[in-house]
Amino acid sequence: MNIIELTNVSKSFGTVRALNDLTLTVPEGSIFGFLGPNGAGKTTTIKVLLRLIKKDSGTVNLFGEGIDINSTIKRKRIGFVPEEFSLYNYMTGWEILRFNAGLFGKKNLVKIDELQDTFHLPLREKISTYSSGMKKALSLYIALSTEPELLILDEPTDGLDPVVRKRLLDFLIKEVAEKNITIFFSSHILSEVEKICDKVAIIKKGKVVIQEELDKIKENASLITVRFSSKIDTDKLDAIGITNISKIDEYTFDLKLLRDSDTIIKKIEDAGGEIVRKIPLSFEDIFMHFVEGKNVDTH
């Protein structure tokens, strides 16, 4: 089952189109990476999912049902850690956890103990004494203490030091493995996404430009150098569907492949070309080429 399904979702703020027929699916039990440059529409997508703002058009399904059906019940099945959060500084950590439990009607003390073993927060002290990283960790306590089926994280590691960041990522992997929860992980830190996510979507200008299993994206992405035995016009390459090439000399070209690599290579060989070099692209290279829209083969 898909926990999240968005189909042709659009949202505008005045003349600014934040989401542009955005379509994506998040399968149950996955850690789904949601990527894009600043202003691409990531936070707007999350706000639409949580019904914090209303979409203009399109369809949003959560847990297999329309978002407007039993929305109160659905919200209790979701944990959320926002990029920017506001906590009651006059409360202690324990007090805000009890307060949140009253809102949701449940509190998992075992889960809080597990989190404490990882993050060691001073829960009996007032939140006003917490650092930004400690407040971020407390937000995770709040989100997980109600046993959500879906955990939505918007830049969850901002403000965390490297040690705590690693603990957080390891904890999330453990949660999915043991509890089969689904995590929607929006982040700009590509190394973190690459470490924990099994499927990713890259969004640009409010539209998904690629959505695929991370391993498949990396497997299909490479830089190849092609050499022809005789001079070849780039117009001829365009005519057979080999585009976005960089000319080294009259016989040799570089080409970045991101999709359908086998199909493109066969076209090259049929045109008399020879692959003389093939280098895997890093995930950062893949991301940059999709968001910049340069030299990207999208066959």
Interatomic CA distance for residues 80 and 20, integer angstroms: 24
Of residues 80, 135, 137, 142, the one with CA closest to residue 106: 142
Phi, psi of 279 (to 5 degrees): -125, 130
From the CA atom positions of the chain, what is the Rg in Å?
23
Domains of the chain: 2-213 (3.40.50.300), 221-292 (3.30.70)
pLDDT band at 125 (very low <50, low <70, confident <90, very high): very high
Of residues 27, 28, 74, the one with CA closest to residue 50: 74
pTM of this structure:
0.85
Residue pLDDT, tens place only, 92-103 = 999 998 888 777
Interatomic CA distance for residues 104 and 162, integer angstroms: 32
- Residue 61, beta-bridge partner list: 5, 66
Interatomic CA distance for residues 61 and 69, integer angstroms: 9
The two tokens of residue 230 are 């005789």
The separation between the first and the last C-alpha atoms of the chain, rounded to the nearest angstrom, is 29
pLDDT at 260 over 80: no
Residue pLDDT, tens place only, 150-208 = 999 998 888 788 888 888 899 899 888 888 899 999 998 899 999 999 999 999 999 99
Residues 245-263: b if buried by 16+ CB within 10 A, e if exposed: beeeeeebbebbbbbebee
